[in-house]
Structure 1
């Protein structure tokens, strides 16, 4: 989120504690769209805080670290949370495999691209791999998610008009 909203990357930044919130905007199909982005903590100790942030969400991004299998294995839990607490059953969901920059230099990949794609397909999610450090895939991920959210929104407006 920090890379997308503020175009910043801090390798020393700690994991989100509780919830972080940012507002930004972007242009989609020649229309300016305002985004309210909630970054909820992934740690177990903050689990009771996150359900209230799913309500009304039109888009959901789940992120795992491609060099840390444990983060991938917890995704099923997070998708159950989204399905349980989201009030928008048509919310657009995206899975992002993050930290692709460190795989080739410092450490080995613990989650393959194919595993990410398979998980995304199972939960009907968009999928992309990215690096917050190098920016690769970050802008594209948000643009794709927002475009799909806008398409869903317009589709439901048209349904109501007919």
Structure 2
């Protein structure tokens, strides 16, 4: 069995044709698939990355953007540790649909989920319809954890996107681990001193519900 510290589920959502599959394939396989057909339902790929000295496994779910698959893809929000909402900077309608996608995230995802907004296809500079400032402003107003622009074609910020996801989730999980350890230490000290034990292990509850570990 492969040794890893944490396993995180990352879900990509957004309109059909914005390049979600290409981003996943570029990061996990290092290729840009020519003539990529639309994703049917959901697909996923796995890649292990290093965060400090820890091996982190990312289970990256690529969801279909078509309306007819929406009821299927919504079920994948619930157990996601991070959700990456993607639009195409050369397609204004894909940006205009962001409020609808954001509504789904808020309805179905864990409230503590890491939210990332991504403007893809920056290689289409001459065809850009959504300025970077507009994407950044939308991210700020709607409280995304961070925003960046990418290109699966020329690999702009692709590795940075997923490495940032892994780093932030790992740091958050280590904070939770430390809280669990402190709660247990406090309980042990209270017990050994003969005092009453009253421990509500909220950190452990969050850990069990939010993350899978080896």
Could you state the TM-score of these two structures normalised by the residue count of structure 1? 0.92
1:67 is aligned to: 90
1:4 is paired with a residue whose SS is helix
**Is the 8 Å Cα contact of residues 66 and 97 (structure 1) preserved in structure 2?**
yes
2:65 is paired with a residue whose SS is coil
2:139 corresponds to 1:120? yes
2:163 is aligned to: 143
Distance 1:12 1:98 in 2: 17
How far apart are residue 102 of structure 1 and its match?
A: 1.4
2:63 is aligned to: 40
**Is the 8 Å Cα contact of residues 97 and 130 (structure 1) preserved in structure 2?**
yes
Distance 1:43 1:123 in 2: 23
Question: Which of 18, 40, 52 is equivalent to 2:41?
Answer: 18
1:95 is aligned to: 117
Could you state the TM-score of these two structures normalised by the residue count of structure 2? 0.71
2:105 is paired with a residue whose SS is helix
1:130 is aligned to: 150
1:134 is paired with a residue whose SS is coil
**Is the 8 Å Cα contact of residues 62 and 96 (structure 1) preserved in structure 2?**
yes
Distance 1:43 1:153 in 2: 33
2:72 is paired with a residue whose SS is coil
Q: How well do the aligned residues superpose, as a CA RMSD in angstroms?
A: 1.2
How far apart are residue 129 of structure 1 and its match?
A: 0.4
Q: Larger C-alpha radius of gyration, 1 or 2?
A: 2
Q: Which runs of 5+ in 1 are unaligned?
A: none
Distance 2:79 2:173 in 1: 13
Distance 2:147 2:174 in 1: 22
1:83 is aligned to: 106
1:49 is aligned to: 72
**Is the 8 Å Cα contact of residues 99 and 133 (structure 1) preserved in structure 2?**
yes
| Equivalent residue pairs, number | 158
Tell me: higher relative CO, structure 1 or 2? Use CA pairs within 8 A at least 6 residues apart.
2
Farther-moved stretch of structure 1 (109-118 vs 147-156): 147-156
